[in-house]
Amino acid sequence: MRLETLAIHGGGLVDPATGAVAPPIHTATTFERDADGGTSRGYSYIREANPTRNALEQLLANLESGAECAAFGSGLGAGAAVLQTLSPGDHVVAPDDVYYGMRMLLDQVYTAWGLMITYADLYEPGVLESALRPETRLVWIETPSNPMLRVTDIRRAVDAAHSAGAVCVCDNTFATPALQRPLDLGADAVMHSTTKWIGGHSDVQGGAVITRTSGDFSERLRTVQHLSGAVPSPFDCWLVMRGARTLPCRAQWSCSSSAKIAAFLKDHPRVEAVHYPGLAEHPGHNLAAEQMSDFGGVVSFQVTGGEDAAAAATANARLFTRATSLGGVESLIEHRAAVEGPDSRAPRDLIRLSIGLEHPDDLIADLAQALDRATR
Ligand SMILES: *Cc1c(COP(=O)(O)O)cnc(C)c1O
């Protein structure tokens, strides 16, 4: 089945018990045992497994062509679970512009826990290879990256990780399985903040890790999921599933609008630089064209006039909502450095857009008036 079909049918559509066409939400925390104490129906206690979470995990595993999926209550919960499969003294390589929440998690929690971390410019060929050590166990990649939309060569990162005996995990939140398939390129696992494009409606938080194969790594993840307990509620699982069904269609519309918006911004006199891998002049364009089927729904750009102009343009938006996050049906605008705070590595004059499902001409008209009034 192709992705559009899998998104509808990949989680089991019709409830076998009742024929219901929408999946039920199972809220039970505990499940009846057999007379002999067995669990022949597959369930015993909600933290370990429940039917709604299983349906979501099956759907996400299918969408990424993975063997197994473990769902979590947030993207960072999923990221933390990957880190919890490691042991103190293990070495991790991550991009120097890794999602800032992941960087804070690594620095403020997992450094104290004994992980050794190297941040490196993984977009430059050869840099990852020289960052590897005998004790490297995890190479974390994120492509396209947030908020600069830089592109990592997934296959090359996988080869480097494997040659060092490490696993390679790809944060696929920005691209989603609709546009990029890291497991097909050899990655050991894909991580998602399902809060973003997969959930798709800015009304549920979630995360997931999907592994390419079943084995030691997926078993360890499952153990962490069961014991750390950062699991999503049945209702949250249901909302993520509901969103995932329309992911391929939403992705297509957002990509097409993003290309138009990037082209508009590129020619705008008050825009200094546009960061969108779909633009031919983007440094990662050729690589993105190879490993992605389209270029995504996030566009960043830098304005002339510096930080004040970026803040003013953001303030002037009328149709774009001023909010962080991405991947919802409504388009969002943010002055990224202000959102990330004093430790932000984002350029001070950078604005990040998440392109939703409004008509692109309306979005372009809003950006035109916001930029015009910001720099007059
Ligand atoms: C939002 C985000 C996360 C964290 O996900 P939460 O659901 O907010 O915990 C991780 N990686 C990327 C790329 C994100 O955009």
Closest protein CA for atom 1 of ligand 1: 193
**Residue 156 to residues 169, 210, 219, 354, Cα–Cα distance (Å):** 13, 20, 26, 28
Question: What is the pLDDT, as a whole number, of residue 309?
Answer: 95
Which of 53, 103, 156, 196 is catalytic? The answer is 196
User: Alpha carbon 127 to chain centroid distance?
Assistant: 24
pTM summary value = 0.96
State in Å: Cα 76 to ligand 1 middle: 6
Q: Is 354 in the pocket of ligand 1 (CB under 6 A)?
A: no
Retrieve residue 243's tokens: 């969103």
> How are the residues of the chain apportioned to helix, strand and coil, as percentages rounded to the nearest 5?
40, 15, 45
Of 69, 60, 72, 68, give the one whose Cα is nearest residue 6. 60
171 is catalytic: yes
What is the DSSP code string of 216-285?
A: HHHHHHHHHHHHH--PPPHHHHHHHHHHHTTHHHHHHHHHHHHHHHHHHHHT-TTEEEEE-TTSTTSTTH
Q: Is 74 in the pocket of ligand 1 (CB under 6 A)?
A: yes
Strand order across the beta sheet in which 271-275 lies? 271-275, 298-303, 350-354, 332-335, 321-322
Q: Is 149 in the pocket of ligand 1 (CB under 6 A)?
A: no
Q: Is 76 in the pocket of ligand 1 (CB under 6 A)?
A: yes
State in Å: Cα 75 to ligand 1 middle: 5
Strand order across the beta sheet in which 68-72 lies? 68-72, 207-211, 189-193, 167-171, 136-142, 91-95, 116-120
Element (H, E) at 314: helix 306-316
Q: Is 73 in the pocket of ligand 1 (CB under 6 A)?
A: no
260 is catalytic: no
Question: What is the pLDDT, as a whole number, of residue 376?
Answer: 60
352 is catalytic: no
- Ligand 1 atom with least separation from CA of 205: 7
User: Is residue 304 within 8 Å of 271, Cβ to Cβ?
Assistant: yes
Retrieve residue 273's tokens: 């630089």
Tens digit of pLDDT per residue, the chain (376 long)?
899 999 998 877 788 889 999 889 999 999 999 999 999 999 999 999 999 999 999 999 999 999 999 999 999 999 999 999 999 999 999 999 999 999 999 999 999 999 999 999 998 889 999 999 999 999 999 999 989 999 999 999 999 999 999 999 999 999 999 999 999 999 999 999 999 999 999 999 999 999 999 999 999 999 999 999 999 999 999 999 999 999 999 999 999 999 999 999 999 999 999 999 999 999 999 999 999 999 999 999 999 999 999 999 999 999 999 999 999 999 999 998 888 888 788 899 999 999 999 999 999 999 999 999 986 6
47 is catalytic: yes
Q: Is 195 in the pocket of ligand 1 (CB under 6 A)?
A: yes
Contacts of 369 (CB under 8 A, 6+ apart): 316, 318
State in Å: Cα 372 to ligand 1 middle: 32
State in Å: Cα 66 to ligand 1 middle: 20
State in Å: Cα 86 to ligand 1 middle: 20
Q: Residue holding tokens 């039920």?
A: 24
**Residue 30 to residues 33, 46, 96, Cα–Cα distance (Å):** 9, 6, 44
Question: What is the pLDDT, as a whole number, of residue 15?
Answer: 86
Contacts of 125 (CB under 8 A, 6+ apart): 153, 156
d(CA 186, CA 162): 10
Question: What is the pLDDT, as a whole number, of residue 120?
Answer: 95
d(CA 14, CA 65): 21
d(CA 3, CA 176): 11
Which of 99, 100, 110, 123 is catalytic? The answer is 99
Question: What is the pLDDT, as a whole number, of residue 10?
Answer: 84
